[in-house]
Each structure stands twice: as structure tokens, then as C-alpha cells.
């Protein structure tokens, strides 16, 4: 059995190594559009870190300068004619560390309304704007604006980009999300690495499935709308934590690693108090307390499989919000919500099982060829790689590095 998991861990490291360019884009802004007949209400939000890109010396631009920049780059048109402002744009209250501006446009016609935002694309070509659109009837859609697609045609958004999709389309989306999501794949491989027996693997996969299924449903139905940048950073943190846990169990020194992990997160909380970074102080302190306690408990338990069921459920809650981002980039028709959630979740599970199945086939082949390595060696190497990757992504996402 040791050889089986040694080979599995070796493949995990090989699959994880070429991942540098596959992390999610970190430069983001958010927009909320309410279209009521010929009236368009826009709320544009962005972090202070992003806003500082607008000044050559990296200072935070004053509200007047920030609004002037946005005014030239956001707007709406109807029947090919630009919609004029009904009132001067104005700054509104926002979460600490963010800027928010409101715009009111009054179009001459409610026909063929097109929404536009080109803000920040000239500063960061990989920038994305996460747009939420709602009309007077309450129909809701979400789109992702990029440098190459910075307009939203309301006639298309209202129709729902997934109106013609069927159950198997949603299954395929779930499968592809696993295969193309390097950070989610990294975490899954970390779970495989920590599991010494098939029973352990069943526990962690069950917890992960329950967690992501719950938050995926809450996100897609609109019951919970977390900040995407917070979730992306937490997904990266779970990857680092699963690597640290592997090392703690292997070295049997959980105390040192628990203290170092908590100290790092508390230090980031201190930087946030000084105005550096994006993640809230309470979130960083809570993550530090959770991580240190979990590492201490799991490092001293001889059989931590049942504990990992609970912990991976928590990790699954975080990853579920990450899975939802793939769906929220589409206009989701309400009539297909149940079919979409069932199909997408099934696709995610098929993708996860496919990964484990491929690993199993691979290690069986290695065992027959007697090409296995000692488990402690590959655990140390692969777990260290997980820690490096998770930390790299976490720091990058916590400070909105492009």
C-alpha cells in the first residue's frame, strides 16, 4: 500500500509542476447594472489597489479624478445612440478598501440597449469586470467583461446564454471546470496525497463534495454573493494548508508548522490594518486560528480520517464559490436552475473521479514495473510543492497582483 501511494504522490507532483500560467486572473472590478425601460443605473466598484494603477506614483486617486477616468470608459447606448447622463456621477459608500461610483443614464429609447465598460483594460490587459445585470422584471444575469469583449447586448443577456443548453451541457461544464481549474485540481491532488487508504480518500472526497455542492447552490441561486477576490485567495490558502498538513503528519511536528502558519496570517492581518492588502482583518485572523488549530489536531491524531471529513467540508464550501464563478459568467435562466445545478455538480464529481481513476491506473502500472519511490520522499517533495504553489497564489491574490 505504501508503494501505491508513493507512486500516486509522484504523479501528483508531476501534474502540479507546470501550473504557473493557469491561475485565475487577479485584476478585477465589479459592476451592477439595473435597466428599467430606457433608464440605466450603473454602480461600479473596484479595490483601492486597482484604483492606484491610475496614478503614475501609485497613490490613491481622489474621487474627482477617479470619476473622470470612469466617465470616459463606462456607458450605455440604445439603438446605436449613446445614452446621456441623467445626473452627474457620484461616489457612494463602499466596503473598506474599495471605491464605488454611481452613474445614471437616460436613453432616448428602450430598444437595443448595449452596456459598455472599458475601464482598466488599457492598464492591465488581463483585467476582468464581473458584471451583474438586472431588468425591471427582476430577470438576473451575470457576464464577464474583458479587453476583447467589453460590451453587453441586453437583447442577448435577457435571453440567457444557457437557454438552449441541456442537462449534458451542464455536466460537460462541470467536467471541464475540474480539468481546466489548476487550483482546484491541485487541492484535489493534495487530498489524494494525504490519504493513506481508500477509506481515508472516501472520507475526504465525501466532505469536499458536500461542501462545494452547498455553496455552489447558494451562489448560483443568488442567496449568497461573496467577493470573488476573497474566495480566490481562500482557495489558494486551502492548497497551501493541505500541503502543510502533509508535512506536519510526515514530520510529526505540527506545533512548529501551526505556529508559523498562524504567524504568517496574523502578519498579513497587521499589514491590512496598515492599509496594505485586500483581505479583511477578521478573515485573516479567523483563517490563522482555524489553520493552526486544525494542524495541531490533525498532527496528533493517529487516524484523522473522520476529522478530515469535517475539514474538507469546510474547504469544499470555499471551493464551491470558486466553482460558481464558471457558471456566473453566463446568463442563467431561472427555469433551468435545478437542471443546471444537478448537471454541473455531477460533472464536477465525474471530473474528480476521473482524476482519481487515472492516478489509480498510473500507480498500478508503476507497481507492476517496480518504479516506485519511498513514500516519505515523494510526500516531502509534493507537499512542499503544494505549499509553494498555494502560498504564491495566496499572496498574489491577497495583494491583487496582476
User: What pLDDT does residue 312 have?
Assistant: 81
Confidence of residue 333 (pLDDT cuts 50, 70, 90): low
Backbone φ and ψ for 146, nearest 5 degrees, come out as -130, 175
Residue 157 pLDDT > 60: no
Average pLDDT over residues 37-43: 93
pLDDT at 74: 96
| Range with lowest mean pLDDT among 245-249, 256-260, 363-367, 385-389 | 363-367
For residues 140-160, give the mean pLDDT.
76
Q: Are 28 and 22 in contact (CB under 8 A)?
A: no
- Which three cell numbers, joined as nine digits, stand for 205? 472526497
Mean pLDDT of 316-339: 71
Euclidean distance between CA atoms 379 and 13, whole angstroms? 9
Residue 89 has pLDDT above 90, yes or no: yes
Q: What pLDDT sits at residue 377?
A: 74
| Position 73 confidence tier, pLDDT thresholds 50, 70, 90 | very high
- pLDDT at 135 (0 to 100): 80
pLDDT at 10 over 50: no
Q: pLDDT exceeding 70 applies to what percent of the chain?
A: 79
pLDDT interval class at 279 (50, 70, 90): confident
d(CA 37, CA 51): 32
Tell me whether strands 128-135 and 140-145 are parallel, antiparallel or unpaired. Answer: antiparallel
What pLDDT does residue 106 have?
Answer: 95
- CA distances 126 to 29, 164, 273, 303, Å, are 12, 29, 29, 45
Degrees to nearest 5, angle at CA 259 with 257 and 265:
100
CB atoms under 10 Å from CB of 353, counted, come to 12
Output the pLDDT for position 104. Answer: 96
Computed over every residue of the chain, the mean pLDDT equals 80
Give 67 or 139, the one with higher predicted confidence. Answer: 67
Q: Which residue has the higher pLDDT, 182 or 111?
A: 111
Q: What is the mean pLDDT of residues 25-34?
A: 81
Binned at pLDDT 50, 70 and 90, residue 12 comes out as: very low
- pLDDT at position 304 over 70: no
Q: How confident is the model at residue 33 (pLDDT cuts 50, 70, 90)?
A: very high
Residue, of 90 and 19, whose pLDDT is higher:
90
Q: How much is the average pLDDT of 13-17? A: 40
Q: In what order do the strands lie in the sheet with 140-145?
A: 85-91, 98-106, 39-47, 28-36, 128-135, 140-145
Full-model pTM: 0.60
Sorting pLDDT into bands at 50, 70 and 90, what band is 271?
very high
Distance in angstroms (rounded) separating the CA atoms of residues 68 and 88: 11
Q: Enumerate residues 6+ apart whose C-beta is below 8 A from 104.
A: 39, 40, 41, 42, 85, 86, 87, 89
How would you write the chain as a 3-class SS string? CHHHHHHHHHHHHHHHCCCHHHCCCCCEEEEEEEEECCEEEEEEEEEHHHHHHHCCCCCCCCHHHHHHHHHCCEEEEECCEECCEEEEEEECCCCCCEEEEEEEEECCCCCCEEEEECCCCCCCCCCEEEEEEEECCCCEEEEEEECCECEEEHHHHHHCCCCCCCHHHHHHHHHHHHHHCHHHHHHHHHHHHHCCCHHHHHHHHHHHHHHHHHHHHHHHCCCCCCCHHHHHHHHHHHHHHHHHHHHHHHHCCHHHHHHHHHHHHHHHHHHHHCCCCCCCHHHHHHHHHHHHHHHHHHHHCCCCHHHHHHHHHHHHHHHHHHHHHHHHCCCCCHHHHHHHHHHHHHHHHHHHHHHHHHHHHHHHHHHHHCCCCCHHHHHHHHHHHHHHHHHHHHHHHHCCCC
Distances (CA, A) of 2 to 8, 252, 363, 378: 10, 18, 11, 11
pLDDT score, position 27: 79
Q: Average the pLDDT over each of 18-27, 97-106, 265-274 and give the range with the smallest value.
A: 18-27
Amino acid at each position: 500500500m505504501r508503494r501505491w501511494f508513493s507512486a500516486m504522490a509522484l504523479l501528483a507532483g508531476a501534474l502540479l509542476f507546470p501550473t504557473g500560467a493557469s491561475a485565475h486572473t487577479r485584476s478585477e472590478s465589479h459592476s451592477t447594472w439595473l435597466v428599467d425601460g430606457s433608464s440605466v443605473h450603473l454602480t461600479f466598484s473596484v479595490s483601492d489597489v486597482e484604483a492606484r494603477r491610475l496614478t503614475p506614483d501609485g497613490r490613491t486617486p481622489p474621487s474627482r479624478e477617479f470619476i473622470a477616468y470612469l466617465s470616459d470608459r463606462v456607458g450605455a447606448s440604445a439603438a446605436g445612440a449613446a445614452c446621456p447622463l441623467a445626473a452627474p456621477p457620484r461616489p457612494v459608500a463602499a466596503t473598506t478598501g474599495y471605491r464605488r461610483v454611481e452613474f445614471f443614464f437616460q436613453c432616448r429609447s428602450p430598444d437595443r440597449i448595449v452596456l459598455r465598460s472599458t475601464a482598466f483594460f488599457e492598464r492591465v490587459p488581463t483585467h476582468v469586470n464581473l458584471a451583474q445585470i438586472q431588468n425591471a422584471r427582476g430577470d438576473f444575469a451575470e457576464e464577464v467583461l474583458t479587453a476583447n469583449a467589453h460590451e453587453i447586448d441586453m437583447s442577448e443577456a435577457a435571453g440567457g446564454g444557457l437557454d438552449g443548453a441541456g442537462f449534458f451541457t451542464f455536466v460537460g461544464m462541470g467536467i471541464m471546470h475540474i480539468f481546466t481549474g489548476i487550483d482546484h485540481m491541485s487541492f484535489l491532488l493534495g487530498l489524494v496525497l494525504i490519504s493513506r487508504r481508500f477509506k481515508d480518500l472516501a472520507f475526504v472526497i465525501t466532505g469536499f463534495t458536500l461542501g462545494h455542492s452547498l455553496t455552489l447552490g447558494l451562489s448560483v441561486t443568488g442567496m449568497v454573493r461573496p467577493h470573488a477576490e476573497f474566495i480566490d485567495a481562500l482557495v489558494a490558502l486551502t492548497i497551501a494548508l493541505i500541503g502543510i498538513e502533509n508535512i506536519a503528519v510526515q514530520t510529526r511536528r505540527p506545533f512548529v508548522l501551526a505556529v508559523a502558519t498562524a504567524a504568517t496570517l496574523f502578519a498579513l492581518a497587521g499589514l491590512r490594518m496598515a492599509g496594505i492588502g485586500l483581505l479583511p482583518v477578521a478573515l485573516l485572523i479567523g483563517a490563522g486560528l482555524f489553520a493552526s488549530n486544525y494542524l495541531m489536531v490533525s498532527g496528533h491524531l493517529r487516524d484523522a480520517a473522520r476529522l478530515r471529513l469535517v475539514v474538507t467540508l469546510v474547504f469544499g464550501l470555499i471551493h464551491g464559490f470558486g466553482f460558481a464563478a464558471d457558471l456566473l459568467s453566463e446568463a442563467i435562466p431561472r427555469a433551468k436552475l435545478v437542471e443546471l445545478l444537478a448537471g454541473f455538480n455531477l460533472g464536477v464529481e465525474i471530473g474528480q473521479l476521473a482524476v482519481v481513476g487515472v492516478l489509480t491506473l498510473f500507480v498500478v502500472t508503476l507497481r507492476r514495473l517496480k518504479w516506485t519511490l519511498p513514500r516519505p520522499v515523494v510526500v516531502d517533495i509534493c507537499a512542499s510543492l503544494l505549499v509553494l504553489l498555494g502560498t504564491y497564489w495566496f499572496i498574489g491574490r491577497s495583494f491583487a497582483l496582476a
